[in-house]
Amino acid sequence: MKKGFKYLGILLGTIFIVSCSEAYLDVNSDTNSPTLGVLEPTLVLPVAQYYTAESIHRNRYTNNLGNMMMYNWSQSDGFSWYNDEFTYAVTSSFYQQIWNLTFRNALKQYRVLASYDGEVYDNYKAIGKIMESFHFQILTDLYGDIPYSEAAQRGANPFPIFDSAEDVYAGIVNELNTAMAMIDGAAEDALIPGSDDIVYGGDMAMWKKFANTVKLRVLVRRGSGDFSGMAAIGFIEENATVQPGYAVAAGQQNPFWNAFGADSGGTITNNNNATCATPFVLNFLTDTNDPRIDFIYEEPATGHLGVIQGLLDYDVPIVDQFDPEFVSNIGPGHLKSATMDAPIFTGAESYFLQAQAIVAGDLSGSAQTAYESGIEASFDYLGATGAATYYGQNIANVGWDASPNKLEAIITQKWVGLNGVDAVQSWFDYTKTGYPANLPISALATTPERPVRLLYPASEITANPNVPSQSNAFTDKIFWAN
């Protein structure tokens, strides 16, 4: 996949002349209104996909947020890294970078792709629509009502209206159906992406399955919709990943490794030292005899040790017991290397979504097979072995037959499978279902519940007069959770 960075390199070489900011990947010459055709879609696509990976895996983006909200991660002694997360300080500045980066970077580029004129661009346009839908769902699941029908028009409409979350969901389903139809109906002379597609290398059949899997996520979360024909299209089985040619070089490392692994010189990051497991998640993995524990979390020489979220006195009862070298930091199953692929949709989640839909009666097939395939896919991603032995145990929420509540088992295993990978999806699941059960809240929480949404960022409130009134971040659930 080294060719992927060829396209990024063209942009880098030009932009470093004028700027050292993250705007170096902006492929549009006009900062207010992109002009279609300024650059070929072969240059727009990899930049957009690069930003998709960044929006999930950079420090304090969606994966980070999900791991904190789902009690997967805590803080080692000697750091004051996660005070806002531990106090649930959900304000207009809390994680506002998710909104800003998604609209400013990823969605801007995908809108360019989706808007190219001419049937020759249908494959690129379809990918643009699919990935817009992917991002819009995450945004509406985080914020509720968002700019959608008038979004990403930039200078043509700097004050977009906010569409209801229900309407956004309906629009996403329609756009995904349109994109899949465009792939099916693409003319023989339509351009097909190649190495510029740093997710699927131009495999449009896989893009159709990816679109169908995003649609499955939408319908399962909404709890209603037309599932007909989806099984015939199929769903992704392997992880969908971004790989632009990550390298051990400044500015070219995998974003998760760059944030939580080591810099290009090999120095371990402070984020790595500061971030560790909680006792709750370690106890769950230990009590269920889960071999993934040593891949999700690094095992110290003294054995696995977690820290409760919001601990104030790290020296009780033993001084220095929670120093980084004694606690379970992020493990080797996640921190593989600086050049590892960046997952944007896991095969494990795809299988768990199928299992949910089958249990609900929306898809036919074996829910148990889908469930166990999801566990196997999680093991494979982490590099662990023994999946069949693990889910063959007579333990509730592990073994299928041993689990009286099938939905609880699916959501609980999805929580384990998305730990450290795309944990924000588990936060959405928890808000809707309350699983995994007995999930603790931070010791510094000022309410008995964790937040259920984010608040509109200060940047949008300042720039757009159409921003609705802020909701209550702890009680106003997104429509699909009510």
Cβ-contact 331, 381 below 8 angstroms:
no
Domain of 177 in residue numbering reads as 1-29+40-60+95-246+459-482
pLDDT value for 155:
81
Distance CA 168, CA 166 (A): 5
For 152: left if phi > 0, alpha if psi spans -120 to 50, otherwise beta; the answer is left
Cβ-contact 77, 316 below 8 angstroms:
no
For 88: left if phi > 0, alpha if psi spans -120 to 50, otherwise beta; the answer is left
Tens of pLDDT, residue by residue over 378-423, are 999 999 999 999 999 999 999 999 999 999 999 999 999 999 999 9
How far is C-alpha 20 from the geometric centre of its chain's CA atoms?
Answer: 27
Distance CA 104, CA 69 (A): 25
Nearest to 427 by CA among 66, 154, 106: 66
- Write the DSSP string, 82-123: -HHHHTT---TTTTHHHHHHIIIIIHHHHHHHHT--SGGGHH
Q: Is 315 exposed, middle or buried (0-12, 13-18, 19+ CB in 10 A)?
A: exposed
Distance CA 404, CA 463 (A): 50
pLDDT value for 15:
30
For 145: left if phi > 0, alpha if psi spans -120 to 50, otherwise beta; the answer is beta
pLDDT value for 39:
73
For the CA atoms of 252, 255, 261, 266, the dihedral, rounded to the nearest 10 degrees, stands at 10
**pTM exceeds 0.85 for this model:** yes
pLDDT value for 400:
98
| Three-state secondary structure call for residue 276 | strand
Residues 6+ apart with CB under 8 A from 227: 219, 357, 362, 363
Domain assignment present for 410: no
pLDDT value for 36:
43
| Tokens of residue 159, six digits | 């004050």
Domain assignment present for 205: yes
Distance CA 128, CA 90 (A): 31
Residue in the block written with tokens 């709890």? 223
Nearest to 260 by CA among 48, 61, 91, 6: 61
Helices in 255-385 by DSSP H: which ranges? 255-260, 270-274, 279-287, 293-296, 347-359, 367-382
pLDDT value for 8:
61
Domain assignment present for 222: yes
Domain assignment present for 153: yes
Secondary structure of 228-251 as H, E, C letters? CCHHHHCCCCCCEEECCCCCCCCC
| Tokens of residue 393, six digits | 């145990």
Is the bond leading into 468 cis (omega within 30 degrees of zero)? no
Nearest to 72 by CA among 334, 268, 335, 296: 296
pLDDT value for 5:
59
Phi and psi, residue 357, nearest 5°: -65, -35
Residue 364's identity, in one-letter code, is S
Cβ-contact 160, 464 below 8 angstroms:
yes
Domain assignment present for 206: yes
pLDDT value for 9:
54
Nearest to 296 by CA among 240, 337, 335: 335
Please name every residue paired with 73 in a beta bridge, in sequence order, or none if there are none.
277
- Split into its structural domains, the chain has a count of 1
Domain assignment present for 24: yes
pLDDT value for 112:
95
State the Rg of the chain over Cα: 22
Give the chain's residues under pLDDT 50.
1-3, 10-37
pLDDT value for 268:
98
Cβ-contact 319, 301 below 8 angstroms:
no
pLDDT value for 154:
79
For the CA atoms of 384, 385, 386, 390, the dihedral, rounded to the nearest 10 degrees, stands at 10
Cβ-contact 204, 415 below 8 angstroms:
no
CATH of the domain at 480: 1.25.40.390
Domain assignment present for 45: yes
Domain assignment present for 137: yes
Phi and psi, residue 276, nearest 5°: -145, 175
